[in-house]
Amino acid sequence: AQSVTQPDIHITVSEGASLELRCNYSYGATPYLFWYVQSPGQGLQLLLKYFSGDTLVQGIKGFEAEFKRSQSSFNLRKPSVHWSDAAEYFCAVAVNTGGFKTIFGAGTRLFVKA
């Protein structure tokens, strides 16, 4: 069955420090992978996506993610975190079940300390 695992429920980093959020997926076909960010009480904003090609993808707000097929991973990174990055982050995979749908991970809450 298709699934997305985000092993870290929450992470705390200091402002200016680097960040890596982990994501592993399970899907038998070519994965279409996404990272979204959600601020409290808001909808989701797409940070970046991977469809094919270069396995290192750049997104908005200085985020990047690397697709590693051998590890079934799509980890999100940022070299220097800003206080405004505090939010909930969701990794997701789009699957084709005769139409497409998106399966989300449980999310990782990022806290940024001064």
Residue of the chain from 49, 66, 72, 86 that contacts other proteins (CB under 8 A):
49
Lookup: tokens for 57? 């993808």
Q: Does 32 bind other proteins (CB under 8 A)?
A: yes
Residue 59 engages other proteins in binding (rule: CB under 8 A): no
Minimum separation from the CB atom of position 58 to other proteins (A): 17
Which tokens sit at 83?
């206080």
* 1 CB-side CA count, 13 A: 4
Contacts for 40 with CB less than 8 Å, ≥ 6 apart: 87, 88
Nearest distance, CB of residue 21 and other proteins, angstroms: 14
72-111 residues in contact with other proteins (CB under 8 A) are 90, 94, 96, 99-107, 109
User: Counting contacts by CB under 8 A, is residue 60 touching other proteins?
Assistant: no
* Four-residue CA torsion sign, 6, 7, 13, 19: negative
62 SS3 class = helix
Interface ranges with other proteins (CB under 8 A): 32, 36, 41-46, 49, 51, 90, 94, 96, 99-107, 109
